[in-house]
């Protein structure tokens, strides 16, 4: 058996690409448009292992996917959790569970998919403003 990808349905493809590509740094590996089926598939991979992909499924017709809490989460290892969170925050993305421990944070995509960020290697020393930042919302 071989792991291929995780699929998430997205309501706004541009907003989701801004989050996953521009915010998290994933790279688009391929895209397939199916106008007859009224959907587009966009595959994204992390620079360190692009073969393990996230598939964004954009259906042309509006549909309510609920809160997306039943999905669980995606997890990405990052080189500097503080820099990653600061970058996402500068883009207006809420850090739902700040990296108070220098190791783990949670954010949510525009479609409410929880994304776990894990520090590569050991924990970083606690750092403000993260060390004293409270949780926001749910993840």
Total length of the chain: 139
Q: Is there a catalytic annotation at residue 116? A: yes
CA 83 to each of CA 24, 30, 65, 124: distance values in angstroms, whole numbers, following the listed order? 11, 28, 31, 11
The Cα–Cα gap between 82 and 66 comes to 30
Of 28, 55, 77, 116, which is the active-site residue?
116
Residue given tokens 């996230």 in the structure block: 54
Any idea which residues carry the catalytic annotation? 116
């Amino acid at each position: 058996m071989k792991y291929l990808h995780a699929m998430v349905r997205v309501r706004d493809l541009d907003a989701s690409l801004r989050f996953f590509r521009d915010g998290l740094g994933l790279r688009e590996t391929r895209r397939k448009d199916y106008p007859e089926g009224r959907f587009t598939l966009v595959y994204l991979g992390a620079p360190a292992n692009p073969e393990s992909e996230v598939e964004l499924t954009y259906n042309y017709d509006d549909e309510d996917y609920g809160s997306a809490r039943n999905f669980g989460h995606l997890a990405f290892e990052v080189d500097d959790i503080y820099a990653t969170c600061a970058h996402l925050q500068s883009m207006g993305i809420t850090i739902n569970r700040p990296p108070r421990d220098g190791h783990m944070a949670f954010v949510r995509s525009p479609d409410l998919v929880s994304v776990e960020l894990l520090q590569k290697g050991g924990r970083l020393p606690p750092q403000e403003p993260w060390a004293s930042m409270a949780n926001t919302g749910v993840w």
